[in-house]
A and B are shown apart, each in its own frame.
Chain A
Amino acid sequence: MAGKIVSIHSFRGGTGKSNTTANLASQVALTGKRVGIVDTDIQSPGIHVLFGLNEQKMGKTLNDFLHGKASIREVGFPVGKNTGEGAGRAQLAGKELYLFPSSIRGQDISQILREGIDFNKLNEAMQMAISEFELDYLFIDTHPGLNEETLLSIATSDVLIIILRPDNQDLQGTSVTVDVARSLDVPNLFLLVNKALPKYDAVELKKDIEEQFQATVTSILPLSFDMAENASQDLFLLRYPDHAWSVALRNVIPYILNAE
């Protein structure tokens, strides 16, 4: 059975996609699975920060693969061999977790925006990442909104997790994303609420959103000062496993592991 593609998406920016993707992928890797993460947010990459990568440490990138300048083998960065600083990340030592980062060099970003992406090539990158690294799960961190690379990620995913904040702008945008995902026959469509204010009744919130979209809300993650303060410096879930945000995020794991 081929590895599964798990895309994490949100209609609007800053909902917590990168943090959620990095933490979920790491947690799955901790269970001994072989896991990859592709950053398809080529316009504004971000997930590398959570793994302590910067321009110097970053080797070959997804951009290099898309331009035919590197093989997927060269792009996959073995996090388990380079956990770097951070008490959370340190737990990934020896784990099979590979990051396929997007270039953060301004030059590369403007080039790809100018020339556009070859979709067959992006699709090939994902399929090759799975086969060459024998991945059980490939997580995809996306750019907010519904641009073409995001539509491709949604179209190829086995599991799609749409993150939203509990406000009406996010709900409106999410409704369109849900319709698109249904029209593209995504087999497992899940919702995840992040940055929920404590004033909302979580039970009611889950019920109302599920009713509206006819899709499962896997968890409600609280708005947390501690999360904001962590500022993507470390893997919060691994570092603070008992924190309310971490406990709530772990609820999402079974939905991923049990997806058909």
Chain B
Amino acid sequence: MTVNILQKIRETDFFKDLSDEACAAVAAEASTRHFAAGDAMMKKGDPADSFFVILEGTLKIVTTDAKGDEIIINKVGPGESIGELALVDELPRSAGVVALEPVEALEFTKQDLFDLLARQDVSLGILRGFSHRLRFSTTYIEKVIDWSQKTAEGNYSFLDQTQPLVTPAGSDEAKAAQLLSAFYSMVRKVKEREDDLKEKLERLTVEIDQERRKREFEEIAGTEFYAKLKEQAKALRQKRNSG
């Protein structure tokens, strides 16, 4: 194993802060894999028997929509791991992963993982990696819930109190932040449309000249025809009501 790879292992979420010796142990368990652009690292539905830690290059996580067209769910890059959840819950791959450029990755089989878990320092690192992710997701989810409730009530005050987040691309934090910032810009646009609509709605000023109204009514009601009509209408109603 080259120093280069040890260095890269230390930059991953799972194995950061490990000693050189521990990193070397990790590297020794894993096999290094190379993928050319367009190669599939995983296929949807495949049994989950290993997981990968990306050292170099980016990949897309894809699924297909109802029409069979490809949808890119996410992109992953150096330092990130893919497929580790499936190793634990033993469900088949939920999405496909395809290299977007030449990719170098460490592959750990289930057995490799179990062997590594025997080392306390490595298991701690892996646990830390998992909890780090969970913690971020929870914080962001709470934020999104809070904003959703405020938006539903028409309270947009958080738009002014919050700065859109800028975080380095690629990290887990960045993905959660992306969700938050997508939500933020959605609410901002909703508010803009709402304001726009409010501006457009006018109130008709109902102005009636009451003098003229009275005069015109009296002109009609003052005729002989009208007096007769009123009598006839009354008689007609009485007849219809009794008949």
A193 to chain B, nearest CB (A): 10
Q: Please determine whether B200 and A148 come into contact, CB atoms closer than 8 angstroms.
A: no
A248 at the interface (CB under 8 A from B): no
A176 to chain B, nearest CB (A): 5
Candidates B203, B208, B213, B226; contact of A200 at CB < 8 Å: B203
Q: Please determine whether A199 and B201 come into contact, CB atoms closer than 8 angstroms.
A: yes
Q: Please determine whether A2 and B240 come into contact, CB atoms closer than 8 angstroms.
A: yes
Q: Please determine whether A208 and B213 come into contact, CB atoms closer than 8 angstroms.
A: no
B220 at the interface (CB under 8 A from A): yes
Size range of the chain A interface in the assembly = 20 to 34
Candidates B202, B216, B236, B240; contact of A176 at CB < 8 Å: B216
Contacts of B232 in A (CB 8 A): 119, 123, 155
A56 at the interface (CB under 8 A from B): no
A94 at the interface (CB under 8 A from B): no
User: Complex formed: what's the CA distance from A176 to B236 in Å?
Assistant: 23
Q: Please determine whether B236 and A156 come into contact, CB atoms closer than 8 angstroms.
A: yes
A166 at the interface (CB under 8 A from B): yes
Contacts of A198 in B (CB 8 A): 200
User: Complex formed: what's the CA distance from A183 to B223 in Å?
Assistant: 14
User: Complex formed: what's the CA distance from A167 to B208 in Å?
Assistant: 11
A selection of 5 A-B contacts at a CB cut-off of 8 Å is A2-B243, A168-B205, A175-B213, A200-B202, A200-B204
A182 to chain B, nearest CB (A): 10
Given A175-B213, A176-B217, A184-B229, the answer on whether A205 and B204 have CB atoms closer than 8 Å is yes
Q: Please determine whether B201 and A200 come into contact, CB atoms closer than 8 angstroms.
A: yes
Residue of B nearest to A182 (CB): B217
A119 to chain B, nearest CB (A): 8
B67 at the interface (CB under 8 A from A): no
Candidates A171, A176, A185; contact of B237 at CB < 8 Å: A185
* Residues 78 to 116 of chain B near chain A (Cβ within 8 Å): none
Residue of B nearest to A155 (CB): B233
Q: Please determine whether B203 and A172 come into contact, CB atoms closer than 8 angstroms.
A: no
A55 at the interface (CB under 8 A from B): no
Q: Please determine whether B220 and A166 come into contact, CB atoms closer than 8 angstroms.
A: no
B230 at the interface (CB under 8 A from A): yes
Contacts of B204 in A (CB 8 A): 166-167, 200, 204-205, 208
User: Complex formed: what's the CA distance from A175 to B206 in Å?
Assistant: 11
Contact with A along B212-234 (1 / 0, CB 8 A): 11001100110001100110111
B195 at the interface (CB under 8 A from A): no
Candidates A168, A172, A205; contact of B213 at CB < 8 Å: A172
Q: Please determine whether A199 and B200 come into contact, CB atoms closer than 8 angstroms.
A: yes
Q: Please determine whether B233 and A156 come into contact, CB atoms closer than 8 angstroms.
A: yes
Residue of B nearest to A202 (CB): B201
Contacts of B65 in A (CB 8 A): none
A109 at the interface (CB under 8 A from B): no
B209 at the interface (CB under 8 A from A): yes
Given A2-B240, A208-B206, the answer on whether A155 and B229 have CB atoms closer than 8 Å is yes
A114 to chain B, nearest CB (A): 18
B207 at the interface (CB under 8 A from A): yes
Residue of B nearest to A2 (CB): B240
